Amino acid sequence: MLYNLAIVIYDFLVHLAAPFSRKPRKMMKGHWVVYELLRQQVEKGERYIWFHAASLGEFEQGRPLIEMIRAKYPDYKILLTFFSPSGYEVRKHYRGADIVCYLPFDKPRNVKKFLDIANPCMAFL
């Protein structure tokens, strides 16, 4: 319950800061378009392995795993999500993933919607 409250407060603060700061503005924009992007790019019938990196540093630590999984399972598509604008902006064109996007704020409705569209068969969070 405390976690859910913290997410709501964080979401509110990002919205509040967006008009004054580029980073929250980019985050909000990325979160607004994530579902449409997924609907356009997720191919029905394909199997997706989902990797989530909260930040660029976390991505760099997990990158060898992504590349190993990509090599070992070439028939699977790679979905890569970021929470931070710094990670997303630097790696949005990463060739090791088929889809790169933001992860929506961690609210039950957002999680359900994201998983319903992406339908990953495996996740590395």
58 catalytic? Reply is yes
| Type of residue at 33 | V
Catalytic entry in 36, 46, 58, 89? 58
Give the strands of the sheet with 122-124, arranged side by side: 99-102, 77-82, 48-53, 122-124
Let me know: does 120 contact 50? Beta carbons within 8 Å: yes
H or E segment at 111? helix 108-118
Q: Which residues are catalytic?
A: 58
